[in-house]
Amino acid sequence: MAKIHPIQPLPPPEDQEPSLDLHERAMDNLRFIRDTMERAGSFTALSGWGLVVIGVAGVLGSWVATRQTSPENWLATWSSAAVVSVLVGVLTTAMKARTARMPMLSGAGRKFMLSLAPPLVAGALLTIFLFRAGMVGLLPGMWMLLYGAGIITAGAFSVSAVPVMGLCFMVFGAGALMSPAAWADGWMAASFGALHVIFGTYIARRHGG
């Protein structure tokens, strides 16, 4: 049998070895950088100024809500305030993550959103069914409790001010459930308004925007 030899010698093995090795090392370096960043990165991309804007929306919302005569309009007011707040929150956080050149949807940011979303969805569903059952008076306390719970768990992946804000929301929610229904909009202004403004200002000052 004739053996087939390449006419030109193939590149010597040492030419191949370092290249594969280099590739392995490059992959390893990238993994190391990514792991370090994920471990080190608490989610400071959460925008403090965004929270302030949400707080202002909360104060305006309670001002409009107290002027509503029917429970339907009252709920519509707070629902629109909630939608506006979620949009403002996502938008300002995306902007801050972009300026800080940090990815929003990987690592800590993704964990933050995945932890915050379930209580918000639960709150939205409970709102519909409690409202239909005529238990409108329970809504503000339930919103604060669930939002606070979400912020505490999500805040585990963020700067320490965030879980503290969540705790305040839960305390306010408990207060709202225990006090007369007429105070509801006052509690809403104090929590979704004032708490957001206070903690938003703190985060903006301490964690850059």
Partner 1 sequence: MGEANRAIDRPSSVLRSVAGAAQDGAPELDRLIHERVRLGIVSALAVNRSLSFNELKSMLGLTDGNLSVHARKLEEAGYVECTKSFEGRTPRTDFVLTDSGRASLEAYLNHMEALIQAVRDR
Q: Is 23 in the site for partner 1 (CB under 8 A)?
A: yes
Q: Which residue stretches of 67-207 are H helix?
A: 71-99, 108-132, 139-155, 161-178, 184-188, 196-206
The site string for partner 1 over 55-94 (x = CB under 8 A, - otherwise) reads ----------------------------------------
Q: Looking at this protein, which amino acid is placed at residue 143?
A: W
Q: If we measure between CA atoms, which residue out of 83, 86, 186, 80 comes closest to residue 140?
A: 186
Residues 12, 23: Cα–Cα separation, whole Å: 18
- Scan residues 24-53 and list those touching partner 1 (CB under 8 A): 26-27, 29-30, 32-33, 36-37, 39-42, 44
Q: How far is the CB of 8 from partner 1 (least distance, A)?
A: 5
Q: Looking at this protein, which amino acid is placed at residue 176?
A: A
| Of 84 and 102, CB closest to partner 1 | 102
Q: Looking at this protein, which amino acid is placed at residue 122?
A: A
| Of 67 and 205, CB closest to partner 1 | 205
Residues 107, 91: Cα–Cα separation, whole Å: 18
Total residues at the site for partner 1 (CB under 8 A)? 28
| Of 31 and 67, CB closest to partner 1 | 31
Residues 96, 46: Cα–Cα separation, whole Å: 7
| Of 37 and 164, CB closest to partner 1 | 37
Binding residues vs partner 1 (CB under 8 A): 7-8, 10-11, 15-16, 18-20, 22-23, 26-27, 29-30, 32-33, 36-37, 39-42, 44, 101-102, 207-208
